Structure 1
Amino acid sequence: MNRREQILATAATLFAEHGFHGVSVGEIGAAVGISGPGLYKHFPAKDAILAEMLVAISEELLRVGTERVEGAAGDPAAALEALVAWHTDFALGNKALIVVQDRDWAALPVEARERVRGLQRAYVDLWATQLCRLDPALDEVEAQARAHATFGLLNSTPHSAFLPEDRMRALLREMALRALGL
């Protein structure tokens, strides 16, 4: 992990624990072993850290989700199963980022917020398209609502770590697939 990645990962943990506004540049720097002003060699401002963090996870969700759909070779059920598996793994592996995305969205600079919003819409549409292909009677708005509801279930992981991770993964996948009608 390079220094920039280390800063992003550490900031995600700190933001998840204390909120974006509850963490100073000095605290992020100290946690990665550099001075607060030294952080400015890597990021121009604290909100730039948040922006890169949330844009990057949105890009990753869409990129890997698209790869999973393409790997399903035109089978919408297989595509949805692959999307559920991917998102479950992502959610379990990135709990701090999910908390930050949910709680600190409003702290994003406008340009980054619009970029994240666009990427998220594309990710929802990726899921909704597969749902509509699976059930042609389903309209696009309901398919999008189902995708959002499934994200809510899967993204509950920071608040529902009651089981060991392997059992939680299986439970989340099962519940998500049932919610999607699979």
Structure 2
Amino acid sequence: MTRITSVLVALVAVPVILSTSVRAHCPLCSAGAGGVAGGASALGVGLEVVGVFIGAFAAATGFWTTKYISTQYVRNQEYLVAGGIYLSIVAPILPMMTEYTPIYLSMTGEYGSLLNRTYMLNDYLVGAILGGAITSVTPRISRTVSKIRGSTVPFQGLATTFLLLGVIAASLHTIL
């Protein structure tokens, strides 16, 4: 086994073996998403896929951290704190991620108007936004699945999160 593979296996296996319970947006989700992002980058996968997992890592870290603030100073404080942590993780990496994909929009008007021009999308930023959004909605999806089934499968939240992240990452990798 190569050194990179050993590190990736340790990043996934150690938290799974040592954990007694898993909740949405726990250290296990954060470490897993961060480990996958590092592994994807080391393997040379596109920046859009790295962005998905960095965005997921940032969102999971933000939501996990807000659980430890017991006093509410402003309305919707947990979302403000989670958003601040998300931005503090995603934004500093943005200047280093310089791959862009052109998207041509031709709906109406002459070329150069708002609905008829070529837009350049930063691959990393698109992935980070999608990864953060997926991580934000998967606890609700997991609760809905539990309600329908009447019970919870072990590691259901983690499995749901990584399944959706994997589908989005694979889709983006083939599209962009």
Q: TM-score range by the shorter chain?
A: 0.3 to 0.5
TM-score normalised per structure 2: 0.37
Q: Write 1 or 2 for the structure with the bigger share of strand.
A: 2
TM-score normalised per structure 1: 0.36
Whose relative contact order is higher, 1 or 2, with alpha carbons under 8 Å and at least 6 apart?
2
